[in-house]
Amino acid sequence: MVKCLAIADLFIDKQMMENGLADLKEKGIEVVVKEWQHDDLEALQKDNITLEKQGSEAVDLPDYLIEGIEEYDYLITQFAPVGKKVIDKAKNLKFVGVLRAGIENVNRQYAEEKGITVFNTPGRSETSVSEYAVGLMLSEIRNIARADRKLRNGEWEKSYPNGVLAPELKESVVGLVGYGAIGQKVANLVRPFGGKIIFFDDYFKGETEDTQVSLEELVTQADIISMHYRLTPETRNMLNKEHFRKMKTSAVVINSARSGLINEADLIEALQTKEITGAAVDVFEQEPLPADHPYLALENVTITPHIAGSTIGNFANSPKILANRLINEYL
């Protein structure tokens, strides 16, 4: 019988995993679910961030998860690392499925050298992250979060970094840096507000009612710049001081994607000097955010603790999406 090992965690727990992989069981595949154990979500996130930044060999998979792994044909993981040690021991492994878009926690090159196919779960965060990105836009330009904070501190404040009269999404040019599944979903959510949508994406070749422009054109034209690109060595710091200098002084920058897409120090400087009006950021170079981080001293930035993708739908549906992909594309 074909066997599949699925590694659950604190975000996709054992029950979610078993429910989501039911279609594999119906195909006669034996599914065994083990759990990568952490004391709390922060401990899991720490390992995840280490893997994202340093790669699959940076964190060892515990022995209790590796035991008997040579029996399995398929391996499904979300955050658990699959490095050389795991691949060498998993003698019968044919597929590794990752329950998210990024596969930094898997040594893909080494796996494929061993004849193992590695595939991801594209589009799983499409709804959660796109909704959150639009929420950050509204919160930042309409001062929702900072007005709440002021009022809780006993301050009846109506004047903010973008003035007494806030801009409207309807009258804004929204520039999307990245026009993949999430970027296009953001466009679909923003379009009914009435704003003009422009986008930069080197890889998009299809038809759309939105306007494709160069990155230079986007940063000079947009009132709101929202990041939705994949982080690669080539796209790291793709938004930096050279771009902030070309932006409107009224511009705001939104990042619910990856911190490395924007040079964090350059963004902080642009906010401090009011080169741009504001930003809303859910991802950071150091997480959790240190107590002395410059963002905490700024009034013109909205910050949230890396929760854009944290929805029930995102995590609960991921095993089902991946199971269907495995069945439809590989089996």
| Residues forming the active site | 258, 287, 306
Helix 126-141 with 144-152: angle, nearest 10 deg:
60
Q: Work out the burial of residue 187: count CB atoms within 10 Å of its CB; fewer than 13 is exposed, 13-18 middle, 19 or more buried.
A: buried
Cis status of the peptide bond prior to 81, with omega within 30 of 0: no
Q: Count other C-beta atoms under 10 Å from residue 156's C-beta.
A: 7
**Rounded to whole angstroms, how far apart are CA atoms 279 and 318?**
30
Phi-psi region of 213 (alpha: psi -120 to 50; beta: other; left: phi over 0): beta
Q: How is residue 331 written in tokens?
A: 């089996």
User: Is 142 within 8 Å of 166 (Cβ atoms)?
Assistant: yes
Task: List CB contacts of 307: < 8 A, sequence separation 6 or more.
Answer: 132, 282
Bridge partners (DSSP) of residue 160 are 163
Burial category of 116 from C-beta neighbours within 10 Å (exposed 0-12, middle 13-18, buried 19 and up) = buried
Please report which helix (H) or strand (E) contains residue 113, including its range. Answer: helix 108-113
